[in-house]
């Protein structure tokens, strides 16, 4: 699989459910560690300051521009970077057309990694098949049986196992803690630990801002140092599809 802008790609591939009910199936820890997948489409529209900071990180001139305009420019720049990495021509294509083309390229790449046939299948079909394959893989890695379980049941079981696993790795006590609260603690600890190792200033910044700064400015280094549970082949797209 081709590598694209390291910070952007890794931002999207931050897994173990750290970015949606399942970062394409990697379950709900993501509701806590990444709340949004933080794609160009998903910068918090209720937070103009965060949008501005993200635009500035991408080299976009923000002077005199409202949040809606910045969102549009962020998305366009992000798509252009992706298209360039895959050799996809942007000429004469609308943002929506380009987005769908990039999504399909990515999804076919991921499907092939799971041995899924892609010929004649549309994007939604491939997403569903990849989601199922990925969840089964995760369950296997965690020693969880899939027999007789619905995807919903399996997602919940995998999520719980992931939260406990990462809490243990980070030295976080789990005794008497609600799993969702524990997931928040894992998120906070992991982000601040990474910031410290990368020399990222955290003063006055939310966890979300710190995480975004790390991914945009130090994404490749964070991957090399294994500061977050990255799985580079596991990708998620725009349109707000954390779980496909």
Contact 189, 161 (CB under 8 A): no
Chain-centroid distance of CA 107 in Å reads: 14
Q: How far apart are CA 84 and CA 86, in angstroms?
A: 5
Report the run of H or E that residue 38 belongs to, with start and end: none
Instruction: Tell me the CA distances in angstroms from 131 to 29, 69, 99, 101, one per residue in order.
Output: 16, 33, 20, 20
- Any idea where the domains of the chain sit in the sequence? 6-224
Residue 45: the pLDDT is 54
Place of tokens 């710190």: 210
Chain-centroid distance of CA 24 in Å reads: 9
Q: What is the pTM of this model?
A: 0.66
Model confidence over 167-211: pLDDT tens digits? 999 999 999 999 999 999 999 999 999 999 999 999 999 888 898
Residues of the chain with pLDDT under 50: 1-42, 232-244
Contact 71, 51 (CB under 8 A): yes
């Amino acid at each position: 699989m081709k590598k694209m802008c390291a910070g952007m790609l890794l931002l999207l591939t931050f897994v173990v459910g750290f970015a949606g009910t399942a970062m394409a199936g990697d379950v709900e820890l993501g509701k806590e560690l990444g709340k949004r997948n933080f794609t160009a489409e998903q910068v918090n529209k209720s937070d103009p300051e965060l949008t501005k900071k993200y635009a500035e990180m991408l080299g976009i001139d923000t002077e005199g521009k409202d949040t809606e305009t910045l969102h549009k420019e962020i998305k366009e720049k992000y798509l252009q970077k992706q298209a360039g990495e895959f050799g996809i021509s942007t000429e004469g294509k609308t943002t929506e057309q380009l987005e769908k083309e990039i999504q399909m390229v990515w999804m076919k790449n991921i499907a092939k990694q799971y041995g899924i046939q892609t010929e004649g299948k549309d994007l939604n079909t491939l997403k569903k098949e990849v989601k199922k394959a990925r969840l089964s893989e995760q369950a296997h890695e965690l020693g969880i049986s899939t027999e007789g379980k619905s995807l919903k049941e399996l997602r919940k079981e995998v999520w719980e196992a992931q939260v406990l696993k990462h809490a243990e790795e980070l030295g976080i006590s789990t005794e008497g803690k609600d799993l969702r609260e524990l997931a928040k603690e894992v998120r906070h600890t992991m982000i601040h630990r990474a910031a410290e190792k990368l020399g990222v200033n955290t003063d006055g910044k939310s966890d979300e801002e710190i995480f975004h700064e790390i991914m945009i400015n130090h994404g490749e280094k964070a991957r090399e140092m294994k500061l977050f549970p990255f799985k580079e082949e596991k990708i998620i797209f725009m349109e707000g599809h954390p779980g496909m």
